[in-house]
Amino acid sequence: MQQLHATTTYIQENTGGFVPEFGIILGTGLGALVKDVEVQYALSYADIPHFPVSTVESHSGKLILGLLAGRKVVVMQGRFHYYEGYTMEQVVFPVRVMKLLGVRQLIVSNAAGGLNPSFSTSDLMVLTDHINLLPTNPLIGQNLDELGPRFPDMSEVYDEHLVREAMVVAEDNGILLQEGVYVSVPGPMLETKAEYRYLRTIGADAVGMSTVPEVIAARHMDMPVFAISVITDMCTPDRIKKVALSDILKAAALAEPRMTLLIRELIKRI
């Protein structure tokens, strides 16, 4: 808590006491939303006390504060992953800081592999639930009572009102928006064919290596969450092929304008 308060104070002192309404986490290859933000402050992760530093090639590592669709936002241009060697506490540290800064709702994006055979590459999928296959989670250990209860309820992880509003935005703008369950795995390697079959069998529609820790931390703090995946490759038996980061970034870039529009219009409505 001391570190969280110290980091929050630093950000407040360096942004004129800026109080954001929305927190936004941008996933792999999905940083272009920042172009739509009227940037008022940009802080490098490396300069923020106790903040981890992004090590993934496509994550720029900046905290952006400004206006999106006329609403005050704080945007993580680059996130942290368990596979980078960070603890879960470090992975979710920025989400907890967002809460202390005044954020009331969290929006999360990610790049994911498609397990549902009805999906296609570059589809958007709104998360309606998730499965956590990471080896630990950010609530293990002593509970931070200042943030939330020891045993937070997770029966309604993703806010139904936000999901419904997103579906309306998608329909109004001619955007195909899939719905589904996201499963989070440790990574950093992609899955084997047998693992893909297993993940589909247990009920997942998309697979990735992020999002769930941040969402758990947000719900612990009673923060409503909206999350969206960009399907960057298909992992069904008939469509599995070898992929590189460049392929994932290319697929994400195709979907990025639709995702950006969806988030911008969603923020306008809520």
- pLDDT tens-digit readout, 135-165: 999 999 999 999 999 999 999 999 999 999 9
Query: How far apart are the C-alpha atoms of 266 and 236, rounded to whole Å?
Result: 31
| pLDDT above 80 (res 28) | no
| pLDDT above 70 (res 123) | yes
Please give the structure tokens belonging to residue 7: 């980091």
Which amino acid belongs to residue 115? Answer: L
Decide: 76 and 88 in contact? Cβ < 8 Å.
no
- Range 228-241 average pLDDT: 91
Query: How far apart are the C-alpha atoms of 101 and 16, rounded to whole Å?
Result: 12
Q: State the pLDDT at residue 144.
A: 95
Q: Is the peptide bond before 94 cis (omega within 30 degrees of 0)?
A: no
- Range 198-212 average pLDDT: 98
Query: How far apart are the C-alpha atoms of 119 and 38, rounded to whole Å?
Result: 34
For 193-223, b/e burial (b = at least 16 CB within 10 A) is eeebeebbeeebbbbbbbbbbbbbbbbbbeb
Lowest-pLDDT choice from 25-29, 115-119, 171-175, 194-198: 25-29
Task: Give pTM, 2 decimals.
Answer: 0.94
Domain boundaries, the chain: 2-269
Task: Give the DSSP H/E element, type plus range, for residue 105.
Answer: strand 105-114
Which residue would you say has higher pLDDT here, 194 or 239?
A: 194
Instruction: Supply the CATH classification number for the domain 2-269.
Output: 3.40.50.1580
| pLDDT above 60 (res 237) | yes
Which residue would you say has higher pLDDT here, 78 or 202?
A: 202
Q: State the pLDDT at residue 270.
A: 87
Three-class DSSP category at 79: coil
Q: State the pLDDT at residue 59.
A: 47
81 band by pLDDT with thresholds 50, 70 and 90:
very high
End-to-end CA distance of the chain: 30
| pLDDT above 90 (res 245) | no
Question: What residues contact 128, with CB distance under 8 A and at least 6 apart?
Answer: 158, 163, 179, 180, 181
| pLDDT above 90 (res 108) | yes
